[in-house]
Structure 1
């Protein structure tokens, strides 16, 4: 087990700040075959963090995350778990926590670390005890399994003394604590990788661990064996290592046997805790738990969207770097942590899993959750939703995040957030979809320019395309208006495709001849060209009213793209040809995105499940 221990032995008395971080996070969560795998990885990390926080001394003050919010106390942070708590099975704790320790900070930190290690090992042991039901061959010795368990978890912590009670002393101690922990983590301390088991196959989901089970024979045997464990492995012939096996089984082998207040078990079996599959989410269907999904979707092809949502510069906001220098950092931490908990606990699930029109097992109209919330911790959200609802959900999350943090003391700008969306066919590899959403979120922040969103389209042909916009640039509003007109039937389904046909002829950057003499280099000319073609097509594919409805959002978006370009040129000038072509690229990618996302609506046009979520902001 990798550990970065940055404590100092003299830190035995007085007040100290403790910052604790566990990992890995993104790769561990993304290595998933099903929505239950995604949930399991996220919840496992939250569970371990909760175990560490509960081990803090009674005199410790938890700074981040907040123990409670407007929605109540964090379910996993209660002294005794209550299975009746709403959201107890929702992963909502970040992989970092910060506390103020009075007294022996070294022993407190070591106690937290040991508790996390002990809990992780207990989970692994519980899964190993079910090896017969899982189907792990008897020739696979326990030490092979345990070796992979032992080298997985990375734990880093730092304690820093707080000398005095003044706000300035606390601020300086907090900054020193963060800097030192970051410095130690950059050393990339890790255990040497041991691949001496002699197994030729690697884990199909991670590509690293040597597989302990897997292949077609294993799949057939599990399908024949049946039972609740057999159902977890019957759908795919993946080769799986210890980590994937634990993620697949720990909710049955360990979690549901936890003794809770008033009841002996958490309800985590498939029958009690249903997690809809990718096809069911995409089709807005109530049918099929993820373990039992047969892959039938009905109504044509379906597309799913993964959302990775993240606050912008949250580290700087938590550190107080964006707040006035006289801000009391202790009070700021208390309020800001609570604001983030209000967002994660009280708001996110309402948006992602809003009840919308759908169909049941018999294809009769009923209400179903719009999407599946995978993780909501602080400012971070991971979710799966139907492709045609993804951007609207992201916009609701962004507006709600801003609303929850609007009272934060600031020098100029208010806290904001960016989002990445990946859209793919329901049968695309889930781990690829999640990783593309994570990349899209980074693209939104680092290329489009935070606060922003970025959409990645993963076409079945293998082509990948991107579109993004700042929230303030008008891209969302234009997308929303086109989407609204398409959904109402005021625009024909061919509209975005026809716009692309008319504008692509003017696009030179894709042809490799961008310096040709007839390339349009004037901003006003290219704007006029785009407007004429776009609005003319809207009138032909819809009506004069549809064209009129699009006129203002289109103008706002084009001006927003040019403004963003001019801002970017301050950092690095571009050629005039390339910069004007960005307008064409932006509109083409917007049209491609709205057309691609709306394939869900087209394939379910005969179904009542076409309702979209209404804004809650």
Structure 2
């Protein structure tokens, strides 16, 4: 805080989950999230026009965000050289200007793409009633800069608990979200047929955003957002893709007719077989599964508190600015890692939101970088965690929840499961900094694994086995897992590396003789889990250790299984 600071202010917007949970298509979920982040960016840039405003968080890049993922979080904290009343008035005015910008985008759709408004004048009222904004403005007296952000975070959290939105009046609610009043009709693909839907302002924007020139320009010329199958099987179709997100040749014709990929469609199967440029000309089981990744930083508040204790009051402003820049850079790094699929190839994954220590992304389960090399969703998780710690230090962590589901599984359910894996499981582990993954098979079966990022070798062996299985032409995982289950009670009583080696020599001699590398990974997984390596911590529960490895093998067996759904 400088000597001229008269007030502090905090602002938050929502409802994020309500915007996302009604999404049926990837483009709806993407723009639902992107819209709120873009809204905050426009809002903050409007406020920055006043030179008496200084943002404590987030850091705002001079260059407009042209990435296809949101970088700006749902809240900000600022200081001002103006009085509390003046700041409140300024924020409210900036909010009105920002909302008008998006209202004009929505109204601009009238008459295009089969859209006909019947309640155009209600757009602003409905959007204003739905967007849940909270403002907290306080005089600077009694507020210390070293805990200002934490204090305002707590205030904003408290205001969010009492949010509500106005539904308004309409002859009929939106047929998409079934929540807000409809204002227009539009032609929307439903399966392979176009239907006339009555839509609210927000669903109109989510469905037709990439038809708007301003949105296309905002996201570097993207004209199409990929469907679940296009993301999960990106390695099969990337050779057809053009820079604007569309496709060329036979795949373009196919998607113009069907809108989305169907892996059982003979026409699509032929398109894959006829593409000689791709490394994988066969539809594998993992191509039919999409991953939603959710990540959240651990220990950020404690880190700021610890480092601020050693600083003078005059140094706090600079420290907060530099820390906000680091969080912003973390978002940029996370975008690059998700988009490049852990530095594999450009535009493989689809990051949705990458603000600071939060990540939300659509990703394929695996991607061939060459005929004999493959990158997995585990590699992406490891890269995100490692980069985060490189930037902010080893005192922090990044917990990650991943939900993997059949490409036709309800998108909102897959998203909610990823949140459950992150907040319900990963962040509840001792020490946090954990990866939790859930797999939902099309058949209805489930599998789940949990790893601590503080034990990288255990996660590395699991990932190594997954890669070996995905690259192998033989389906050996089923027989290996079956034999290990038979000897479960024996495995529980193994106490030395020699005993473990003898067990594998006696029971998996065929796989060992054939040079199948997967069996080496399995053996090492048991060695680490049972604490037989001298570098490992002693194991207090042998039964649980064996069960954990068997669950991990079950997970891989399910994910890479050759059986049809």
What's the TM-score, normalizing by structure 2? Answer: 0.76
Task: State yes or no: 1:325 paired with 2:309.
Answer: yes
Match of residue 446 from structure 2 = 464
Which of residues 327, 346, 350 in structure 2 aligns to 1:372? 350
Match of 1:352 in 2: 338
1:384 aligns with 2:384: no
1:75 to 2:64 alignment: yes
1:191 is paired with a residue whose SS is coil
User: Which structure ranks higher in relative contact order (CA pairs < 8 Å, sequence separation ≥ 6)?
Assistant: 1
Report the Cα distance in structure 2 between the residues aligned to 1:143 and 1:400, rounded to whole angstroms.
48
Distance 2:195 2:508 in 1: 46
Q: Deviations over 1:101-151 (max 9, x none)?
A: 11224323432333234323442343235344354566x534665554232
Q: 1:529 to 1:95 in 2, by over 3 A?
A: farther
User: In the superposition, relative to structure 1, how do residues 18 and 541 fare at CA in structure 2: closer, same or farther (>3 Å)?
Assistant: farther
**Aligned: 1:60 with 2:53:** yes
The residue that corresponds to 2:326 in the other structure is: 339
Equivalent of 2:419 in 420, 425, 438: 438
Counterpart in 1 of 2:529? 557
Distance 1:96-1:305 versus aligned 2 partners, 3 A rule: same
1:94 aligns to what SS in structure 2? coil
Q: Tell which deviates more after alignment, 148-157 or 525-534.
A: 525-534
Is this contact kept in 2: 1:309–1:420, CA < 8 A? yes
Distance 2:219 2:5 in 1: 43
Counterpart among 212, 223, 226 of residue 276 in structure 1: 226
Which residue among 209, 221, 234 is the counterpart of 2:180?
209
Shift of residue 479, structure 1, vs aligned partner? 1.0
Q: Number of aligned residue pairs: give it.
A: 506
Instruction: Output the CA distance in 1 between the equivalents of 2:450 and 2:440.
Output: 15
* Offset at residue 434 of structure 1 (A): 2.1
Matched residue SS, 2:112 = helix
Change (3 A) 1:268 1:234: farther
The answer to whether the 8 Å contact 1:161/1:173 transfers is no
Shift of 1:376: 1.2
Q: Which residue does 1:114 correspond to in 2? A: 93
Residue 151 of structure 1 is aligned with which of 120, 129, 134?
129
What is the rounded CA distance, in whole Å, between the counterparts of 2:558 and 2:192 in structure 1? Answer: 32
| SS of structure 2 residue aligned to 1:444 | helix
Distance 2:51 2:451 in 1: 47
User: Is the Cα–Cα contact under 8 Å of residues 529 and 545 in structure 2 kept in the other structure?
Assistant: no
- Structure 1 distance, partners of 2:21, 2:505, is 42
Partner of 1:425: 406
Counterpart for residue 274 of structure 2: none
Aligned to 1:572: none
| Contact 1:202/1:239 (<8 A) preserved | yes
Query: Is the 8 Å Cα contact of residues 503 and 584 (structure 1) preserved in structure 2?
Result: no
Query: Which of 534, 556, 562 is equivalent to 1:594?
Result: 556
- What's the CA shift string for 1:563-614, capped at 9, x where partnerless? 99999xxxxxxxx9xx6543344223311332344469x99xxxxxxxxxxx
Would you say the 8 A contact 1:148–1:243 is kept in 2? no
- Whole-angstrom distance in 1 between the partners of 2:100 and 2:496: 62
CA contact (8 A) 2:69 2:353 kept: yes
Structure 1 residue 527: Cα displacement: 10
Change (3 A) 1:436 1:185: same
Match of 1:476 in 2: 459
SS in 2 for 1:55: helix
**Aligned partners of 1:31, 1:565: CA distance in 2, in Å?**
46
Conserved in 2, the CA contact under 8 Å of 1:477 and 1:553?
Answer: no
Q: CA deviation at 1:238?
A: 7.3
Structure 2 equivalent of residue 176 of structure 1: 151
Alignment of 1:549-588 (within 5 A): 550-559=522-531, 581-588=543-550
Shift of residue 401, structure 1, vs aligned partner: 0.7
RMSD, matched Cα: 4.2
Distance in 1 (CA, whole Å) between partners of 2:232 and 2:45 is: 38
CA contact 1:65–1:98 (8 Å) conserved in 2 = yes
Partner of 2:252: none
Aligned to 1:247: 206
* Preserved CA contact (<8 Å) 1:535 1:551: no
- Residue 477 and residue 127 in structure 1: after superposition, are their counterparts in 2 closer, same or farther (change >3 A)? same
Q: Report whether the alignment pairs 1:307 with 2:293.
A: yes
User: SS where residue 373 of structure 1 aligns?
Assistant: strand
* Farther off after superposition, 113-122 or 526-535: 526-535
Contact map agreement 2:397 2:433 (CA 8 A) in 1: yes
Cα shift readout 1:183-238 (whole Å, capped 9, x = no counterpart): 3333x1323545x5353x7644x453356678xxx75xx57xxxxxxx99966887
| Matched residue SS, 1:591 | helix
Asked whether the 8 Å contact 2:421–2:438 carries over to 1, the reply is yes
Hey, what does 1:29 align to over in structure 2? 20
Mapped to 2, the partners of 1:433 and 1:155 lie a distance apart of: 27
Describe the shift of the 1:268–1:402 C-alpha distance in structure 2 as closer, same or farther (beyond 3 A): closer
Q: Of residues 511, 534, 546 in structure 2, which corresponds to 1:541?
A: 511
1:351 Cα shift?
A: 1.8
Greater CA drift, 549-558 or 381-390: 549-558
Structure 1 residues 118 and 487, CA, compared in 2 at 3 Å: closer, same or farther? same
Residue 471 of structure 1, CA deviation: 1.1
CA distance in 1: counterparts of 2:198 and 2:431, whole angstroms: 40
SS in 2 for 1:295: coil
In structure 2, runs of 5+ residues without a counterpart are 247-254, 263-267, 270-281, 367-375
The one-character-per-residue Cα deviations of 1:474-499 (angstroms, maximum 9, x if unpaired) are 4412212212433554x94322x234
Q: Using the alignment, how far apart are the partners of 1:238 and 1:564 within structure 2?
A: 60
Measure how far apart 1:428 and its partner are: 1.9
Query: What's the CA shift for 1:387?
Result: 1.0
Asked if 1:197 is matched to 2:170, the reply is yes
Partner secondary structure for residue 385 of structure 2: helix
Q: Residues 198 and 469 (structure 1 numbering): CA distance in 2 closer, same or farther, change over 3 Å?
A: same
CA–CA separation in structure 2 for the residues paired with 1:383 and 1:327: 37
Question: Is contact 2:500–2:523 with CA below 8 Å preserved after alignment?
Answer: no
